[in-house]
């Protein structure tokens, strides 16, 4: 498996990353091809698709486990790894559908893909890019197993003025999406505990109490 | 990349395989895990999902090409490989969503997955199995690029009685789906030419003339 591209975005660490593609729809990322794959013709026709698949490698994989504890279930119920999108798989491959916002010339990088809604950490290696084909990939009637029985609960978000002022409107919108989904480790419910989050070059602190997450600049 | 399972079905060769997942919805396949991955707990919770993703390896890959000629475009227009699901990719990885019909005990094979709609050849190595998550994977508004402008044209199917008699009802239904989509190489339009197809242990001949495909037993 060869790395054909890497993703670039505002998340230098795993902490705070959306737990699934599409959960932070306003998060922009850039897909930069490795020099050997900066071939404009290889993208011909891709501009007609609104969504694409990224097949990528979990960085910092720590081996696999037959069962895992999905955050969605509160982190205390074990499910089979093949019934989840957990990173602890035999082959640590991730699969994400993202919106293709544009294909742009980016200096020495050649053509790059601008995408939104990705759940990949900055620098993640990408192994393949495929068009999302509605005819083959959309199953509107698909049942969602244990996931549907545990809908994501969103928090209210309260961002301190100095933090809000340090971010562009679009980055602020993304941070709101990220925080609303409660980025704490699933097994921790320690009201008022402070967590640190690296985002867009800033060090951010946040705490959750009741149904609200408060965030401020460190 | 380790092979965790292999698919078993009625297509011993690539010729005649559906060109995309879901194009032969009645085609049944069995996913048999390799001995090291016959671990029942790794499948816990999977039974609640109606669809799953298979991430698999193109057998007999012949290297990659920046542009390819999609059969859907008649085989004479070049598109970028990343705008297609062609096998001629830098990393020869396939991606298919299939319907999960059941999880069954299968003697020494342990638990196997019975799926329908796969576009994988018998024996294809599978690298990963993931649940299809409607919340992340369904994009009903997705645009389909050049594919939508070239809808699949279906042929009428005329199967000789001796061939029909040699197949079970479900295999006959699958063969009809396969033939209706015109399994000839895209660049050949040679009315009346005979082609051979291996399917379900039978050697089948077929020919296309006008809008009809006729098939008989060799």
The dihedrals phi and psi of B72, each to the nearest 5 degrees, come to: -60, -25
pLDDT range class, residue A142, cuts 50, 70, 90: very high
Q: Tens digits of per-residue pLDDT, B65-76? A: 999 999 888 888
Q: Tens digits of per-residue pLDDT, B136-167? A: 999 999 999 998 888 888 999 999 999 999 99
Q: Does A156 touch chain B (CB under 8 A)?
A: no
pLDDT range class, residue A71, cuts 50, 70, 90: confident
The CA-based angle A37-A43-A44, given to 5 degrees, is 140
Give the nearest chain A residue to B18 (CA atoms): A136
- Which residue, among B186, B157, B155, has the nearest Cα to B172 in the 3D structure? B157
- Return per-residue pLDDT of chain B as tens, 218 residues: 899 999 999 999 988 999 889 899 999 999 999 999 999 999 999 999 999 999 999 976 678 999 999 988 888 899 999 999 999 999 999 999 999 999 999 999 999 999 999 999 999 999 999 999 999 999 999 999 998 888 888 999 999 999 999 999 999 999 999 999 999 887 667 888 999 999 999 999 999 998 999 999 99
**Chain B, 49-68: which have a CB under 8 Å from a chain A CB?**
49-51, 53, 55, 66-67
Who contacts A151 (Cβ-Cβ below 8 Å, separation ≥6)?
Answer: none
**Which CATH architecture fits A5-137?**
Beta Barrel (2.40)
Residue A61 has pLDDT above 70, yes or no: no
Q: Does A143 touch chain B (CB under 8 A)?
A: yes
Nearest by CB to residue A84, choosing from B131, B139, B144, is B131
Q: Do B83 and A131 touch (CB under 8 A)?
A: yes
Q: Do A43 and B142 touch (CB under 8 A)?
A: no
- Which residue, among A99, A107, A101, A95, has the nearest Cα to A38 in the 3D structure? A107
Q: Tens digits of per-residue pLDDT, A156-198? A: 999 999 999 999 999 999 999 999 999 988 766 788 899 999 9
Query: Could you tell me if the ipTM is greater than 0.90?
Result: yes
Give the nearest chain A residue to B24 (CA atoms): A136
The dihedrals phi and psi of B145, each to the nearest 5 degrees, come to: 50, -140
For residues A121, A123, A127, A129, the Cα torsion angle rounded to the nearest 10 degrees is 70
User: Is-contact B166 B217, C-beta < 8 A?
Assistant: yes
CA B30 from centre of chain: 13
- pLDDT for A60 equals 63
pLDDT range class, residue A72, cuts 50, 70, 90: confident
Who contacts A45 (Cβ-Cβ below 8 Å, separation ≥6)?
Answer: B79, B80, B83, B84, B145, B146
Q: Tens digits of per-residue pLDDT, A73-123? A: 888 899 999 999 999 999 999 999 999 999 999 999 999 999 999 999 999
- Which residue, among A102, A135, A111, A98, has the nearest Cα to B146 in the 3D structure? A135
Q: Where are the domains of chain B?
A: 5-137, 153-217
What is the reported pTM?
A: 0.95
Contact residues on chain B for A86, CB-CB shorter than 8 A: none
Q: Does A142 touch chain B (CB under 8 A)?
A: yes
E-strand stretches of A37-160: 51-57, 67-68, 79-80, 93-105, 111-116, 125-131, 156-159
Measure A43 CA to nearest chain B CA, in Å: 5
A134-144 mean pLDDT: 95
Nearest by CB to residue A41, choosing from B2, B80, B91, is B80
- pLDDT for A131 equals 98
> Chain B interface, mutation test: which of A22, A131, A147, A152, most B Cβ atoms within 10 Å?
A131
Q: Does A129 touch chain B (CB under 8 A)?
A: yes
Measure B48 CA to nearest chain A CA, in Å: 4
| Percentage of residues of chain A with pLDDT beyond 90 | 83
- Which residue, among A43, A140, A56, A139, has the nearest Cα to A100 in the 3D structure? A43
- Which residue, among A194, A58, A182, A171, has the nearest Cα to A124 in the 3D structure? A58
**Chain A, 171-200: which have a CB under 8 Å from a chain B CB?**
none
């Amino acid at each position: 498996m060869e790395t054909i591209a890497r993703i670039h975005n505002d998340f230098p660490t795993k902490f705070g990353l959306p737990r699934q593609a599409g959960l932070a729809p306003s998060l922009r990322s850039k897909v930069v091809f490795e020099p050997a794959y900066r071939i404009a013709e290889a993208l011909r026709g891709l501009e007609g698709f609104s969504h694409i698949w990224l097949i990528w490698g979990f960085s910092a994989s720590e081996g696999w486990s037959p069962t895992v504890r999905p955050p969605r279930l509160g982190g205390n119920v074990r499910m089979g790894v093949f019934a989840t999108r957990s990173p602890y798989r035999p082959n640590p491959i991730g699969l994400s559908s993202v919106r293709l916002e544009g294909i742009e010339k980016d200096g020495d990088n050649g053509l790059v893909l601008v995408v939104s809604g990705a759940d990949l950490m900055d620098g993640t290696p990408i192994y393949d890019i495929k068009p999302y084909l509605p005819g083959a990939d959309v199953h509107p009637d698909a049942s969602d197993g244990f996931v549907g029985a545990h809908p994501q609960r969103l928090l209210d978000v309260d961002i301190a003025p100095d933090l809000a002022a340090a971010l562009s409107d679009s980055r602020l919108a993304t941070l709101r999406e990220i925080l609303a989904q409660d980025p704490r480790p699933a097994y921790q419910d320690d009201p008022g505990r402070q967590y640190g989050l690296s985002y867009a070059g800033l060090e951010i602190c946040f705490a959750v109490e009741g149904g609200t997450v408060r965030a401020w600049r460190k």
